[in-house]
Chains A and B, each alone.
Chain A
Protein backbone atom coordinates (compact mmCIF):
# COMPACT_ATOMS: atom_id res chain seq x y z
CA UNK A 1 0.00 0.00 0.00
CA UNK A 2 2.82 2.38 0.99
CA UNK A 3 4.64 1.52 -2.24
CA UNK A 4 1.47 2.25 -4.26
CA UNK A 5 1.00 5.64 -2.57
CA UNK A 6 4.64 6.54 -3.22
CA UNK A 7 4.35 5.58 -6.89
CA UNK A 8 1.14 7.57 -7.18
CA UNK A 9 2.75 10.64 -5.57
CA UNK A 10 5.74 10.32 -7.90
CA UNK A 11 3.42 10.12 -10.92
CA UNK A 12 1.51 13.20 -9.77
CA UNK A 13 4.77 15.10 -9.26
CA UNK A 14 5.90 14.16 -12.76
CA UNK A 15 2.63 15.32 -14.28
CA UNK A 16 2.77 18.59 -12.37
CA UNK A 17 6.30 19.22 -13.56
CA UNK A 18 5.24 18.94 -17.21
CA UNK A 19 4.04 21.93 -19.12
CA UNK A 20 0.37 22.05 -19.99
CA UNK A 21 -0.26 21.54 -23.74
CA UNK A 22 -1.76 25.02 -24.14
CA UNK A 23 1.23 26.66 -22.45
CA UNK A 24 3.78 24.76 -24.53
CA UNK A 25 1.98 25.18 -27.84
CA UNK A 26 1.19 28.85 -27.36
CA UNK A 27 4.67 29.67 -26.15
CA UNK A 28 6.20 27.93 -29.18
CA UNK A 29 3.71 29.54 -31.57
CA UNK A 30 4.45 33.05 -30.33
CA UNK A 31 8.22 32.72 -29.94
CA UNK A 32 9.07 31.21 -33.30
CA UNK A 33 11.70 32.91 -35.44
CA UNK A 34 10.50 34.76 -38.53
CA UNK A 35 12.04 35.09 -41.98
CA UNK A 36 13.28 38.65 -41.49
CA UNK A 37 15.51 37.36 -38.72
CA UNK A 38 17.64 35.46 -41.27
CA UNK A 39 19.32 38.77 -42.13
CA UNK A 40 22.25 39.66 -39.85
CA UNK A 41 20.76 43.00 -38.84
CA UNK A 42 23.18 45.23 -36.99
CA UNK A 43 22.07 47.73 -34.39
CA UNK A 44 25.30 49.70 -33.98
CA UNK A 45 26.07 52.30 -36.62
CA UNK A 46 29.83 52.18 -36.15
CA UNK A 47 29.91 48.39 -36.51
CA UNK A 48 27.68 48.62 -39.60
CA UNK A 49 29.84 51.26 -41.21
CA UNK A 50 33.06 49.36 -40.47
CA UNK A 51 31.59 46.16 -41.97
CA UNK A 52 30.46 48.03 -45.09
CA UNK A 53 33.99 49.40 -45.59
CA UNK A 54 35.63 46.03 -44.95
CA UNK A 55 33.26 44.06 -47.20
CA UNK A 56 32.96 46.73 -49.91
CA UNK A 57 29.17 46.71 -49.58
CA UNK A 58 26.63 49.50 -49.32
CA UNK A 59 24.63 50.04 -46.15
CA UNK A 60 20.93 49.27 -46.09
CA UNK A 61 19.12 51.13 -43.33
CA UNK A 62 15.67 50.12 -42.10
CA UNK A 63 14.50 52.91 -39.82
CA UNK A 64 11.11 52.99 -38.14
CA UNK A 65 9.69 54.58 -35.01
CA UNK A 66 10.56 52.21 -32.20
CA UNK A 67 13.30 49.63 -32.61
CA UNK A 68 12.45 47.82 -35.83
CA UNK A 69 13.90 44.55 -34.59
CA UNK A 70 12.71 44.60 -31.04
CA UNK A 71 9.76 46.86 -30.52
CA UNK A 72 6.25 46.60 -31.92
Chain B
Protein backbone atom coordinates (compact mmCIF):
# COMPACT_ATOMS: atom_id res chain seq x y z
CA UNK B 1 0.00 0.00 0.00
CA UNK B 2 2.74 2.46 0.97
CA UNK B 3 4.69 1.41 -2.13
CA UNK B 4 1.80 1.92 -4.50
CA UNK B 5 1.12 5.37 -3.06
CA UNK B 6 4.72 6.57 -2.97
CA UNK B 7 7.59 4.64 -4.58
CA UNK B 8 5.59 3.38 -7.54
CA UNK B 9 3.84 6.68 -8.08
CA UNK B 10 7.16 8.29 -9.07
CA UNK B 11 7.42 8.87 -12.83
CA UNK B 12 11.18 8.35 -13.12
CA UNK B 13 11.10 5.13 -11.11
CA UNK B 14 8.26 3.79 -13.25
CA UNK B 15 10.08 4.70 -16.46
CA UNK B 16 13.24 2.98 -15.25
CA UNK B 17 11.23 -0.16 -14.57
CA UNK B 18 9.25 -0.05 -17.80
CA UNK B 19 12.30 0.44 -20.02
CA UNK B 20 15.11 -1.44 -18.36
CA UNK B 21 13.76 -4.19 -16.17
CA UNK B 22 11.49 -7.19 -16.22
CA UNK B 23 9.23 -6.52 -13.24
CA UNK B 24 8.00 -9.48 -11.23
CA UNK B 25 5.53 -9.12 -8.35
CA UNK B 26 4.71 -12.33 -6.47
CA UNK B 27 2.83 -12.89 -3.27
CA UNK B 28 5.73 -13.31 -0.86
CA UNK B 29 3.80 -15.50 1.56
CA UNK B 30 2.90 -17.97 -1.15
CA UNK B 31 6.08 -18.11 -3.20
CA UNK B 32 8.27 -18.58 -0.13
CA UNK B 33 6.30 -21.77 0.60
CA UNK B 34 5.97 -22.90 -3.00
CA UNK B 35 7.30 -26.45 -3.41
CA UNK B 36 8.42 -26.19 -7.00
CA UNK B 37 11.29 -24.79 -9.04
CA UNK B 38 9.86 -21.25 -8.94
CA UNK B 39 9.88 -21.39 -5.14
CA UNK B 40 13.42 -22.80 -5.14
CA UNK B 41 14.66 -20.02 -7.43
CA UNK B 42 12.94 -17.33 -5.41
CA UNK B 43 14.31 -18.62 -2.09
CA UNK B 44 17.79 -18.76 -3.64
CA UNK B 45 17.53 -15.08 -4.59
CA UNK B 46 16.05 -13.69 -1.39
CA UNK B 47 18.30 -15.71 0.90
CA UNK B 48 21.30 -13.85 -0.52
CA UNK B 49 20.01 -10.68 1.16
CA UNK B 50 21.46 -10.39 4.66
CA UNK B 51 19.27 -7.65 6.15
CA UNK B 52 16.72 -7.33 7.57
CA UNK B 53 16.57 -10.76 9.14
CA UNK B 54 12.98 -10.56 10.37
CA UNK B 55 11.39 -10.36 6.91
CA UNK B 56 11.93 -11.18 3.25
CA UNK B 57 9.58 -8.39 2.18
CA UNK B 58 11.02 -5.70 -0.03
CA UNK B 59 12.79 -5.34 -3.34
CA UNK B 60 15.35 -7.43 -5.19
CA UNK B 61 17.31 -6.83 -8.36
CA UNK B 62 18.80 -10.02 -9.73
CA UNK B 63 20.09 -11.69 -12.84
CA UNK B 64 17.90 -14.42 -14.39
CA UNK B 65 20.52 -16.92 -13.24
CA UNK B 66 19.57 -16.08 -9.64
CA UNK B 67 22.52 -13.88 -8.71
CA UNK B 68 21.38 -11.10 -6.38
CA UNK B 69 22.56 -7.65 -7.45
CA UNK B 70 20.70 -5.52 -4.91
CA UNK B 71 18.29 -6.41 -2.14
CA UNK B 72 16.67 -4.06 0.36
CA UNK B 73 13.52 -3.40 2.33
CA UNK B 74 14.06 -0.03 3.93
CA UNK B 75 13.56 2.88 3.99
CA UNK B 76 9.80 2.84 3.62
CA UNK B 77 8.50 5.20 2.33
CA UNK B 78 11.38 5.38 -0.11
CA UNK B 79 13.82 8.30 0.15
CA UNK B 80 15.38 8.00 -3.30
CA UNK B 81 17.11 4.69 -2.59
CA UNK B 82 14.96 2.91 -5.17
CA UNK B 83 16.01 5.11 -8.08
CA UNK B 84 19.65 5.06 -7.01
CA UNK B 85 19.72 1.26 -6.81
CA UNK B 86 17.84 0.86 -10.11
CA UNK B 87 20.41 3.06 -11.85
CA UNK B 88 23.45 1.50 -10.14
CA UNK B 89 22.34 -2.03 -10.93
CA UNK B 90 21.75 -1.13 -14.57
CA UNK B 91 25.14 0.53 -14.93
CA UNK B 92 26.98 -2.62 -13.95
CA UNK B 93 24.64 -5.22 -15.42
CA UNK B 94 26.03 -7.85 -17.75
CA UNK B 95 23.47 -10.45 -18.85
CA UNK B 96 24.65 -13.98 -17.97
CA UNK B 97 25.98 -16.01 -20.88
CA UNK B 98 24.18 -19.12 -19.75
CA UNK B 99 21.01 -19.55 -17.72
CA UNK B 100 20.08 -22.99 -16.49
CA UNK B 101 16.51 -24.01 -17.40
CA UNK B 102 14.11 -24.71 -14.54
CA UNK B 103 11.72 -27.64 -14.30
CA UNK B 104 8.33 -26.18 -15.19
CA UNK B 105 6.42 -29.46 -15.26
CA UNK B 106 5.52 -29.27 -11.57
CA UNK B 107 3.62 -26.27 -10.18
CA UNK B 108 2.62 -26.09 -6.53
CA UNK B 109 -1.04 -25.17 -6.93
CA UNK B 110 -1.55 -24.65 -3.21
CA UNK B 111 0.82 -21.71 -3.46
CA UNK B 112 -0.36 -20.72 -6.93
CA UNK B 113 -4.14 -21.21 -6.96
CA UNK B 114 -6.03 -20.75 -10.22
CA UNK B 115 -9.67 -19.72 -10.58
CA UNK B 116 -12.03 -22.71 -10.77
CA UNK B 117 -12.94 -23.79 -14.29
CA UNK B 118 -15.53 -21.47 -15.80
CA UNK B 119 -15.08 -18.87 -13.05
CA UNK B 120 -15.01 -15.14 -13.73
CA UNK B 121 -12.50 -12.85 -12.02
CA UNK B 122 -13.51 -9.45 -10.70
CA UNK B 123 -11.48 -6.72 -9.06
CA UNK B 124 -12.27 -5.27 -5.66
CA UNK B 125 -11.36 -1.72 -4.63
CA UNK B 126 -11.69 -0.43 -1.07
CA UNK B 127 -11.37 3.06 0.32
CA UNK B 128 -12.18 4.96 3.47
CA UNK B 129 -13.97 7.88 1.87
CA UNK B 130 -14.54 9.69 5.16
CA UNK B 131 -12.49 9.11 8.29
CA UNK B 132 -11.04 10.96 11.26
CA UNK B 133 -7.57 10.05 12.51
CA UNK B 134 -5.26 10.72 15.40
CA UNK B 135 -2.65 13.35 14.52
CA UNK B 136 0.54 11.76 13.22
CA UNK B 137 3.97 12.77 12.04
CA UNK B 138 4.56 9.41 10.37
CA UNK B 139 4.64 9.85 6.59
CA UNK B 140 3.77 6.18 6.15
CA UNK B 141 0.47 6.66 7.97
CA UNK B 142 -0.34 9.82 6.03
CA UNK B 143 0.21 8.02 2.74
CA UNK B 144 -1.94 5.01 3.40
CA UNK B 145 -4.87 6.73 5.07
CA UNK B 146 -6.15 7.85 1.68
CA UNK B 147 -5.07 4.72 -0.16
CA UNK B 148 -7.13 2.20 -2.08
CA UNK B 149 -7.07 -1.44 -1.02
CA UNK B 150 -7.12 -4.02 -3.79
CA UNK B 151 -8.18 -7.64 -4.09
CA UNK B 152 -9.60 -10.10 -6.57
CA UNK B 153 -12.97 -11.85 -6.39
CA UNK B 154 -14.00 -15.14 -7.95
CA UNK B 155 -17.49 -15.76 -9.34
CA UNK B 156 -17.93 -19.48 -9.99
CA UNK B 157 -19.57 -20.94 -13.07
CA UNK B 158 -22.62 -22.07 -11.06
CA UNK B 159 -23.04 -18.56 -9.64
CA UNK B 160 -22.70 -17.04 -13.10
CA UNK B 161 -25.46 -19.31 -14.37
CA UNK B 162 -27.64 -18.23 -11.44
CA UNK B 163 -26.99 -14.59 -12.37
CA UNK B 164 -28.15 -15.35 -15.91
CA UNK B 165 -31.47 -16.36 -14.34
CA UNK B 166 -31.59 -13.11 -12.37
CA UNK B 167 -30.57 -14.58 -9.03
CA UNK B 168 -27.71 -13.86 -6.66
CA UNK B 169 -26.52 -17.17 -5.26
CA UNK B 170 -26.13 -17.47 -1.51
CA UNK B 171 -22.53 -18.64 -1.95
CA UNK B 172 -21.65 -15.59 -4.03
CA UNK B 173 -23.12 -13.22 -1.47
CA UNK B 174 -21.46 -15.01 1.44
CA UNK B 175 -18.03 -14.95 -0.24
CA UNK B 176 -18.42 -11.31 -1.12
CA UNK B 177 -19.51 -10.30 2.36
CA UNK B 178 -17.22 -12.38 4.55
CA UNK B 179 -14.02 -12.00 2.54
CA UNK B 180 -14.40 -8.69 0.71
CA UNK B 181 -16.56 -6.38 2.82
CA UNK B 182 -13.42 -5.60 4.83
CA UNK B 183 -11.22 -2.58 5.35
CA UNK B 184 -8.01 -3.71 3.64
CA UNK B 185 -6.76 -0.19 3.01
CA UNK B 186 -3.85 -0.45 5.44
CA UNK B 187 -2.82 -4.08 5.15
CA UNK B 188 -4.11 -7.62 5.39
CA UNK B 189 -7.45 -7.58 7.23
CA UNK B 190 -9.27 -10.28 9.17
CA UNK B 191 -12.19 -11.91 7.40
CA UNK B 192 -15.65 -11.86 8.94
CA UNK B 193 -16.74 -15.01 10.75
CA UNK B 194 -20.06 -16.58 9.77
CA UNK B 195 -21.77 -15.44 12.95
CA UNK B 196 -20.65 -11.84 12.39
CA UNK B 197 -23.20 -11.53 9.60
CA UNK B 198 -26.24 -10.24 11.44
CA UNK B 199 -28.61 -8.93 8.76
CA UNK B 200 -28.91 -8.98 5.00
CA UNK B 201 -31.60 -7.66 2.71
CA UNK B 202 -31.25 -8.11 -1.02
CA UNK B 203 -33.58 -7.03 -3.78
CA UNK B 204 -32.96 -7.85 -7.43
CA UNK B 205 -34.92 -6.44 -10.34
CA UNK B 206 -34.30 -6.83 -14.03
CA UNK B 207 -34.84 -3.70 -16.11
CA UNK B 208 -33.81 -3.18 -19.72
CA UNK B 209 -31.44 -6.16 -19.65
CA UNK B 210 -29.70 -5.09 -16.46
CA UNK B 211 -30.01 -6.88 -13.16
CA UNK B 212 -30.26 -4.19 -10.51
CA UNK B 213 -29.19 -5.12 -7.00
CA UNK B 214 -30.21 -3.11 -3.95
CA UNK B 215 -29.66 -4.16 -0.41
CA UNK B 216 -28.36 -3.59 3.05
CA UNK B 217 -25.97 -5.56 5.22
CA UNK B 218 -24.96 -5.45 8.86
CA UNK B 219 -21.83 -7.14 10.22
CA UNK B 220 -20.76 -7.11 13.84
CA UNK B 221 -17.74 -8.65 15.50
CA UNK B 222 -17.85 -8.83 19.29
CA UNK B 223 -16.06 -5.88 20.90
CA UNK B 224 -14.38 -4.86 17.68
CA UNK B 225 -15.61 -4.23 14.15
CA UNK B 226 -18.98 -3.12 12.85
CA UNK B 227 -20.03 -2.45 9.28
CA UNK B 228 -23.51 -1.38 8.23
CA UNK B 229 -23.81 -0.60 4.56
CA UNK B 230 -25.96 -0.22 1.48
CA UNK B 231 -25.34 -2.41 -1.54
CA UNK B 232 -26.07 -1.20 -5.05
CA UNK B 233 -25.21 -3.08 -8.19
CA UNK B 234 -25.71 -3.38 -11.94
CA UNK B 235 -25.07 -6.78 -13.48
CA UNK B 236 -25.34 -7.63 -17.16
CA UNK B 237 -24.90 -10.83 -19.13
CA UNK B 238 -24.77 -11.62 -22.80
CA UNK B 239 -26.15 -15.11 -22.83
CA UNK B 240 -24.25 -16.84 -20.05
CA UNK B 241 -21.27 -14.51 -20.35
CA UNK B 242 -20.94 -11.93 -17.64
CA UNK B 243 -20.35 -8.54 -19.30
CA UNK B 244 -20.83 -6.21 -16.34
CA UNK B 245 -20.49 -6.73 -12.62
CA UNK B 246 -20.48 -3.28 -11.07
CA UNK B 247 -21.25 -3.11 -7.38
CA UNK B 248 -20.76 -0.44 -4.77
CA UNK B 249 -21.03 -1.06 -1.05
CA UNK B 250 -20.91 1.97 1.20
CA UNK B 251 -21.57 2.47 4.87
CA UNK B 252 -20.43 3.13 8.39
CA UNK B 253 -17.42 1.10 9.48
CA UNK B 254 -15.83 1.12 12.91
CA UNK B 255 -13.15 -0.91 14.63
CA UNK B 256 -11.78 -0.80 18.14
CA UNK B 257 -8.64 -2.84 17.63
CA UNK B 258 -6.05 -1.86 15.04
CA UNK B 259 -5.14 -5.05 13.20
CA UNK B 260 -2.67 -3.25 11.00
CA UNK B 261 -1.16 0.04 12.04
CA UNK B 262 -4.05 2.15 13.22
CA UNK B 263 -7.79 2.60 12.95
CA UNK B 264 -9.78 5.80 12.45
CA UNK B 265 -11.17 7.48 15.53
CA UNK B 266 -14.88 6.70 15.63
CA UNK B 267 -16.93 5.49 12.71
CA UNK B 268 -15.62 6.01 9.19
CA UNK B 269 -17.30 5.63 5.82
CA UNK B 270 -16.00 2.59 3.99
CA UNK B 271 -16.71 2.16 0.29
CA UNK B 272 -16.07 -0.99 -1.71
CA UNK B 273 -16.41 -1.38 -5.46
CA UNK B 274 -16.45 -4.50 -7.63
CA UNK B 275 -15.90 -4.64 -11.37
CA UNK B 276 -14.95 -7.31 -13.88
CA UNK B 277 -11.23 -7.71 -14.52
CA UNK B 278 -10.41 -5.98 -17.80
CA UNK B 279 -9.31 -8.30 -20.57
CA UNK B 280 -5.54 -8.31 -20.76
CA UNK B 281 -5.07 -8.11 -16.98
CA UNK B 282 -3.58 -11.23 -15.43
CA UNK B 283 -6.39 -13.42 -14.02
CA UNK B 284 -3.90 -15.57 -12.11
CA UNK B 285 -3.55 -13.17 -9.19
CA UNK B 286 -5.73 -14.93 -6.62
CA UNK B 287 -8.03 -13.36 -4.06
CA UNK B 288 -6.31 -12.94 -0.71
CA UNK B 289 -8.41 -15.54 1.08
CA UNK B 290 -8.38 -18.41 -1.42
CA UNK B 291 -6.32 -20.36 1.10
CA UNK B 292 -9.29 -20.30 3.50
CA UNK B 293 -11.46 -23.39 3.30
CA UNK B 294 -14.66 -21.33 3.30
CA UNK B 295 -13.78 -19.17 0.29
CA UNK B 296 -15.52 -21.36 -2.28
CA UNK B 297 -17.89 -23.02 0.14
CA UNK B 298 -21.44 -23.67 -1.06
CA UNK B 299 -22.98 -25.43 1.93
CA UNK B 300 -23.60 -24.66 5.61
CA UNK B 301 -23.72 -20.98 4.75
CA UNK B 302 -24.90 -18.14 6.94
CA UNK B 303 -26.57 -16.13 4.17
CA UNK B 304 -29.63 -18.42 3.65
CA UNK B 305 -30.31 -18.34 7.40
CA UNK B 306 -30.77 -14.58 7.50
CA UNK B 307 -31.28 -13.43 3.92
CA UNK B 308 -34.40 -11.43 3.23
CA UNK B 309 -34.92 -11.29 -0.48
CA UNK B 310 -37.35 -9.86 -2.94
CA UNK B 311 -37.29 -9.99 -6.70
Contact = CB atoms under 8 A, between A and B. Distances in A.
Contacts of A62: 3, 8, 23-25, 59
Given A69-B25, A71-B150, A63 B4 contact: no
Contacts of B20: 57-58
Given A36-B8, A58-B89, A67-B285, A45 B26 contact: yes
Contacts of B62: 58-59, 61
Contacts of A42: 22-25, 282
B207 to A, nearest CB: 5
A1 to B, nearest CB: 25
A72 B286 contact: no
Contact of A58 (B4, B11, B93): B93
B245 to A, nearest CB: 11
B166 interface: no
Q: Which of A17, A42, A67 has the most CB of B within 10 A?
A: A67
Interface string A6-22: 00000001001101100
By secondary structure, the A interface counts as mixed
Given A39-B23, A63-B28, A26 B248 contact: yes
Interface in B1-50: 1, 3-4, 8-9, 11, 14, 17-18, 20-31, 37-38, 41-42, 45-46
Contacts of B271: 26, 30
Given A17-B208, A26-B248, A70-B151, A45 B38 contact: yes
A21 to B, nearest CB: 12
A5 interface: no
B275 A67 contact: no
B64 interface: yes
Contact of A40 (B8, B18, B57, B210): B18
Contact of A16 (B8, B207, B246): B207
Given A30-B273, A49-B102, A71-B287, A38 B150 contact: no
A20 to B, nearest CB: 7
Given A41-B25, A68-B26, 9 more contacts: A31-B273, A35-B14, A45-B42, A55-B22, A60-B17, A65-B28, A66-B28, A66-B288, A71-B188
14 contacts: A20-B232, A27-B248, A30-B148, A36-B4, A43-B25, A43-B285, A44-B284, A58-B62, A59-B23, A60-B17, A71-B152, A72-B150, A72-B189, A72-B288
Which 6 residue pairs of A and B lie closest in terms of their CB atoms, listed nearest first?
Answer: A36-B8, A70-B285, A30-B273, A48-B24, A45-B38, A30-B125
Interface of A: 13, 16-17, 19-20, 23, 26-27, 29-31, 34-36, 38-46, 48-49, 51-53, 55-72
